């Protein structure tokens, strides 16, 4: 970045924020003006009550304003003690530490989920299935957390009366048919009204008027704080509520407001990061980055951090989305009895407990053997010796059910064995994860006390129903679900030390804070709604009965936050115009201001990203030469590759580049073909030249079909139900084949073609080159010159494609190549097209023999051509990529030859 502009000097405040201090001639930030008026009104309120500043507590809307208030007071009152600028939570913690009781609502998902489950089971034991129960537990915790601020705003001794009044009000608006919803509301009210809170000390003698302070002043933010308002009423004449909005004139949009209409989310993220860098390069720091869209904000933060810009995130994100959580969950997924091989490989790739080479070798072998289930790998004679030492035992030890505390202890031990414990404890997110799950030594005892309390109050079913066991035992799946709930409910707050150039914060927390510039991405209709949806499942009538803020109140608060945002000194507003191909409009707030915008600074701001001129460099079709890298032998498909595209032969046959086999793949047409080949081979090898009749042949084919499907793992296990569609068409394939076989064998009676062998592996030579192949079937055909071989190749492809193969004898590589593998001077060769389609005519039968009448001539041409072509390759002839025909559509080497770039001339 370029050096900062001399218009600002960097000043680090007590909370670590870097403030750009304006030099002479620079307009004072409007937040300073706000605080100047507020400090004056605070002083007037103290004077009215004849209270010294040291005996005054000023409650601010959120904790970040405590330091801002102290600095503002110090500017006008440099001598003497300042008032105590506190948030309610900070004030309470300074008076008395808080330890929640076993059944208190603690805002800690590890505790609250257990308590909520106990309450649900106490009132609905035996009436819930696992899925409904899980939903009810999550909704109960959500409902209780929304009601907790209202309950905390009531003195502890009056909460039961408050809850009864709320129940009576709800009874007037609730729908009787909504049984579970009513149950959740009742449980949530009971829970929050019987819980203790960290702020309860503010209702006790330590915080009574005159104890620690003589005057209480409440600064209201955009939305009323129930506890602060209730405390002001509790203090009576010694308290006053100061509305923030009264301290300044109505806000107007900044003169330096820039609008950025972006293409998509990535374009928006890049432009937002560029805006921030431009402000930082100009010395306008700190920069506020408003988090309207958390996913977009994380993307912007990553870009800034990669550019070396320090970022402090005050919003955080779900603990479940961190890498530490992914590492932990990879272990639990791998330990599941139904774990896939991919799950175990994912675990192994996140740890260095075993050599990387061993993990790579295991993955290659698993793909080769086509084992997709971990339990199959453990039992496989080929895979079992390649498994990392001790891994199977660790995963097996995590499968039996056990109590929650034992689970946490064993999980921590397993993390140590697989090498994940040290990375977790060295990572900031990992440390918060360990704390949230109580994985540290002795930390699980806290949860053990809760479960003991719940069990003593006849709530042991809260845990037993999850695990399907008696007592407090949890199955692996139930424990995994609990861990997932805790991680979803936890918030990761990145640690920050020293100064921060960029501060990520919600829009509402721009109130009262000074930033040299503000960047607000995500101002589209989806992420910046003027009428935000109220949280929770409450209806409007229920919200009114409970005392929760109505939609109109939330909308008014959001509008005030938007007005404060517009008043920022330097402001960039960004939105995307489309998302996933769908058009997206700006927020209604943005649309209302765009017609009023005027001038280059306010409408259609230029893109702050620097443009670079790049010269087009068209990619030429590659034409490598590799005469010293030749295969030892050739198959029909290898020579077909050479004829289709020399570069394809170079990549797939000379360099031997192949796609890695998939671990998890459902049976496809290729599996169908392999299975049919195996069934027909076994059928003809057992049957020989015997002709027992259609009924016997049909029964034998059915038996062999089932046996082969079982042997190849297509019916169950690895194949699952994916083979069912092919089994459904089997009767048509079978009957069509038997109809053809009956006619084929009856052509010339006993003198007709007779089965000789199947899957015959043969080799031959064409000059110095070795040819090899496996022929599906060889029959013997009697002729005046003696028995001649009849080569038959099974095809399950479409009939037109098979017919196309024999139209041009010299273009058909396969049958000519197979003919070259046989020394006979006279032979026949044909494709046997086997489908499940049946027509009226003989040529439209389900099974049709498609013979190549010119196979001998094609054989001679192929042998000569193959020797000539391979000699040119050996001599170093260039092997260009042709980029023509249907062969390019599914070519495995397409990404290597870069046809999609050079064919368009880019």
pLDDT at 617: 76
Shared domain for 73 and 115, answered yes or no, is no
CB 45 within 8 A of CB 541: no
State the average pLDDT over residues 495-520: 89
At 736-762, the pLDDT tens digits run 999 999 888 876 555 667 889 999 999
Q: Provide the token pair at 221.
A: 């933010």
Task: Flag whether 611 is in a domain.
Answer: no
Question: At 513, which CATH number?
Answer: 3.40.50.300
Q: What is the DSSP string of 701-766?
A: HHHHHHHHHHHTT-SSTTSGGGGHHHHHHHHHHHHHHHHHHHHHHTSSGGGS-EEEEEEEEEEEEE
Residues 6+ apart with CB under 8 A from 890: none
Question: What confidence tier does 255 reach under pLDDT thresholds 50, 70, 90?
Answer: low
User: How many C-beta neighbours within 10 Å does residue 514 have?
Assistant: 25
Question: What confidence tier does 665 reach under pLDDT thresholds 50, 70, 90?
Answer: low
Q: Provide the token pair at 642.
A: 């050479």
User: Pairing between strand 56-59 and 317-318?
Assistant: unpaired
Shared domain for 708 and 758, answered yes or no, is yes
Shared domain for 219 and 283, answered yes or no, is no
pLDDT at 16: 38
Shared domain for 372 and 419, answered yes or no, is yes
Residue from 494, 491, 504, 142 nearest 320 by CA: 491
Residues 6+ apart with CB under 8 A from 674: 712
> What's the CA angle centered on 840, arms 839 and 842, to 5 degrees?
85
Shared domain for 578 and 501, answered yes or no, is yes
At 430-457, the pLDDT tens digits run 999 999 999 999 888 888 888 888 876 6
Residues 6+ apart with CB under 8 A from 138: 485
pLDDT at 129: 77
Structural domains in the chain (count): 5
C-alpha gyration radius of the chain: 38
Shared domain for 850 and 884, answered yes or no, is yes
Shared domain for 263 and 218, answered yes or no, is no
State the average pLDDT over residues 690-707: 90
Q: What whole-number distance in Å separates Cα of residue 435 and Cα of residue 725? A: 50
Q: What whole-number distance in Å separates Cα of residue 661 and Cα of residue 617? A: 34
pLDDT at 541 over 50: yes
pLDDT at 597 over 80: no
DSSP state of 900: H
DSSP-assigned beta bridge partners for residue 408 = none
Shared domain for 821 and 788, answered yes or no, is yes
Task: Flag whether 103 is in a domain.
Answer: no
Among 544, 564, 596, give the residue marking a domain's end: 596
Coil, helix or strand for 66?
Answer: helix
pLDDT at 750: 53
| Strand runs labelled E in 13-110 | 18-22, 56-59, 84-86
Task: Flag whether 706 is in a domain.
Answer: yes
DSSP state of 510: G
State what percent of residues in the chain have pLDDT above 70: 88
Shared domain for 516 and 569, answered yes or no, is yes
Residue 905: exposure state from Cβ atoms within 10 A (0-12, 13-18, ≥19): exposed
Q: What is the DSSP string of 611-622?
A: P------PPPPP
pLDDT at 841 over 90: no
CB 888 within 8 A of CB 655: no
Residues 6+ apart with CB under 8 A from 257: 566, 571, 573, 597, 601, 602
Q: What whole-number distance in Å separates Cα of residue 388 and Cα of residue 374? A: 13
Among 492, 514, 535, give the residue marking a domain's end: 492
Phi, psi torsion values for 645, nearest 5 degrees: -160, 115
Question: What confidence tier does 658 reach under pLDDT thresholds 50, 70, 90?
Answer: confident
Shared domain for 698 and 838, answered yes or no, is yes
Mean pLDDT of the chain: 86
Q: What whole-number distance in Å separates Cα of residue 614 and Cα of residue 603? A: 29
Question: What confidence tier does 904 reach under pLDDT thresholds 50, 70, 90?
Answer: low
Shared domain for 23 and 114, answered yes or no, is no
At 781-794, the pLDDT tens digits run 887 777 899 999 99
Question: At 21, which CATH number?
Answer: 3.40.50
Task: Flag whether 464 is in a domain.
Answer: yes
pLDDT at 495: 77
Task: Flag whether 612 is in a domain.
Answer: no
Question: At 817, which CATH number?
Answer: 3.90.320
User: Of the segments 545-559, 832-846, 883-897, which one has the largest average pLDDT value?
Assistant: 545-559
What domain range includes position 534? 257-309+496-596
pLDDT at 468: 36
At 8-21, the pLDDT tens digits run 233 333 343 333 33
Among 462, 492, 522, give the residue marking a domain's end: 492
Coil, helix or strand for 872?
Answer: helix
Lowest pLDDT segment from 379-388, 462-471, 673-682 = 462-471
State what percent of residues in the chain have pLDDT above 90: 59
Distances (CA, A) of 72 to 20, 27, 60, 75, 85: 16, 17, 13, 5, 11
At 36-93, the pLDDT tens digits run 888 999 999 999 999 999 999 999 999 999 999 999 999 989 888 899 999 999 999 9
Backbone dihedral region of 819: left (phi > 0), alpha (psi from -120 to 50 degrees) or beta? alpha
At 325-355, the pLDDT tens digits run 999 999 999 999 989 999 999 999 999 999 9
Shared domain for 74 and 92, answered yes or no, is yes
> HEC profile for 761-808?
EEEEEECCEEEEEEEEEEEEECCCCCCEEEEEEEECCCHHHHHHHCCC
């Amino acid at each position: 970045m370029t050096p900062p502009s001399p218009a600002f000097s960097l000043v680090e405040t007590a909370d670590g924020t870097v403030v750009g201090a304006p030099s002479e001639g620079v307009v004072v930030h409007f937040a300073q003006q706000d605080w100047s008026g507020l400090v004056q009104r605070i002083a007037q309120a103290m004077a009215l009550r004849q209270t010294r500043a040291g005996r005054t507590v000023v409650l601010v809307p959120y904790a970040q304003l405590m330091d801002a208030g102290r600095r503002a007071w110090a500017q006008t009152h440099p001598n003497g003690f300042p008032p105590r600028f506190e948030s309610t939570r900070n004030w309470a913690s300074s008076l008395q530490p808080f330890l929640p009781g076993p059944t208190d609502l603690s805002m800690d998902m590890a505790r609250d989920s257990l308590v909520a489950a106990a309450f649900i089971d106490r009132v609905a034991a035996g009436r819930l299935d696992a899925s409904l129960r899980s939903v009810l537990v999550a909704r109960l915790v959500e409902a209780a957390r929304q009601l907790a601020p209202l309950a905390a705003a009531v003195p502890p001794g009056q909460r039961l009366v408050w809850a009864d009044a709320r129940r009576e009000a709800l009874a007037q608006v609730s729908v009787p048919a909504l049984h579970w919803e009513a149950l959740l509301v009742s449980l949530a009210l009971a829970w929050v009204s019987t819980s203790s809170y960290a702020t309860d000390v503010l209702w006790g003698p330590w915080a009574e008027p005159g104890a620690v302070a003589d005057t209480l002043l409440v600064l209201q933010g955009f939305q009323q704080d129930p506890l602060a308002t209730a405390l002001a009423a509790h203090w009576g004449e010694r308290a006053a509520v100061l509305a923030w909005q009264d301290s300044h004139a109505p806000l107007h949009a900044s003169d330096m407001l820039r609008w950025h209409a972006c293409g998509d989310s990535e374009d928006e993220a890049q432009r937002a990061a560029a805006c921030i860098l431009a402000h930082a390069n100009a010395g306008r720091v700190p920069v506020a980055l408003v988090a309207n869209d958390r996913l977009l904000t994380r993307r912007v933060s990553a870009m800034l951090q990669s550019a070396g810009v320090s970022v402090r995130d005050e919003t955080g994100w779900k603990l479940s989305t961190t890498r530490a959580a992914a590492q932990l969950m990879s272990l639990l997924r791998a330990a599941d009895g139904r774990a896939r091989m991919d799950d175990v490989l994912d675990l192994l790739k996140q740890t260095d407990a075993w050599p990387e080479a061993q993990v790579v070798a295991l993955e290659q072998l698993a793909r080769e053997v086509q084992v997709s289930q971990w339990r199959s790998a453990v039992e496989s004679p080929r895979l079992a010796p390649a498994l990392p030492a001790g891994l199977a035992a660790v995963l097996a030890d995590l499968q039996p059910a056990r109590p929650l505390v034992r689970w946490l202890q064993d999980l921590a031990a397993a993390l140590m064995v697989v090498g994940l414990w040290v990375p977790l404890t060295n990572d900031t997110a990992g440390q918060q994860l360990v704390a949230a799950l109580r994985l540290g030594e002795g930390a699980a005892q806290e949860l053990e006390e809760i479960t003991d309390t719940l069990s003593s109050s006849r709530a042991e079913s809260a845990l037993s129903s999850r695990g399907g066991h008696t007592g407090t035992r949890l199955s692996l799946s139930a424990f995994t679900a609990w861990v997932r709930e805790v991680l979803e409910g936890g918030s990761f707050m990145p640690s920050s030390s020293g100064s921060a150039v960029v501060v990520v914060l919600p829009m509402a927390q721009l109130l009262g804070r000074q930033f040299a510039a503000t960047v607000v991405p995500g101002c589209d209709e989806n992420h910046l709604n003027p009428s935000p949806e109220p949280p929770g499942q409450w209806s409007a009538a229920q919200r009114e009965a409970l005392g929760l803020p109505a939609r109109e109140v939330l909308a008014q608060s959001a509008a005030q936050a938007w007005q404060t945002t517009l008043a920022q000194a330097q402001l960039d507003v960004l939105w995307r115009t489309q998302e996933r191909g769908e058009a997206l409009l700006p927020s209604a707030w943005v649309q209302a201001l765009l017609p009023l915008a005027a001038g280059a600074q306010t409408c259609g701001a230029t893109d702050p990203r620097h443009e670079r001129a790049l010269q087009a460099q068209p990619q030429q079709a590659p034409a490598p030469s590799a005469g010293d890298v030749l295969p030892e032998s050739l198959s029909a498909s290898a020579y077909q590759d050479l004829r289709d595209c020399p570069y394809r032969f170079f990549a797939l046959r000379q360099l031997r580049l192949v796609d890695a086999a998939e671990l998890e793949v459902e049976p496809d047409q290729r599996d169908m073909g392999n299975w049919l080949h195996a069934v027909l081979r076994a059928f003809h090898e057992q049957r020989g030249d015997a002709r027992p009749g259609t009924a016997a042949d049909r029964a034998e084919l059915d038996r062999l079909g089932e046996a082969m499907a079982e042997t190849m793992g297509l019916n169950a296990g690895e194949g699952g139900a994916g083979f069912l569609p092919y089994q459904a068409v089997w009767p048509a394939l079978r009957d069509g084949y038997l109809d053809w076989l009956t006619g084929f064998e009856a052509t010339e009676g006993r003198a007709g073609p007779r089965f000789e062998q199947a899957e015959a592996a043969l080799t031959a030579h064409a000059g110095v080159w070795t040819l090899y192949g496996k022929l599906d079937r060889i029959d013997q055909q009697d002729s005046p010159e003696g028995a001649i071989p009849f080569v038959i190749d099974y095809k399950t492809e479409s009939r037109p494609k098979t017919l196309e193969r024999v139209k041009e004898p010299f273009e058909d590589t396969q049958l000519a190549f197979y003919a070259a593998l046989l020394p006979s001077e006279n032979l026949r060769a044909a494709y046997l097209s086997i489908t499940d389609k049946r027509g009226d005519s003989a040529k439209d039968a389900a099974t049709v023999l498609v013979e190549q009448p010119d196979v001998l001539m094609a054989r001679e041409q192929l042998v000569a051509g193959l020797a000539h072509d391979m000699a040119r390759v050996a001599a170093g002839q260039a092997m260009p990529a042709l980029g023509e025909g249907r062969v390019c559509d599914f070519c495995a080497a397409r990404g290597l030859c870069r046809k999609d770039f050079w064919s368009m001339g880019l």
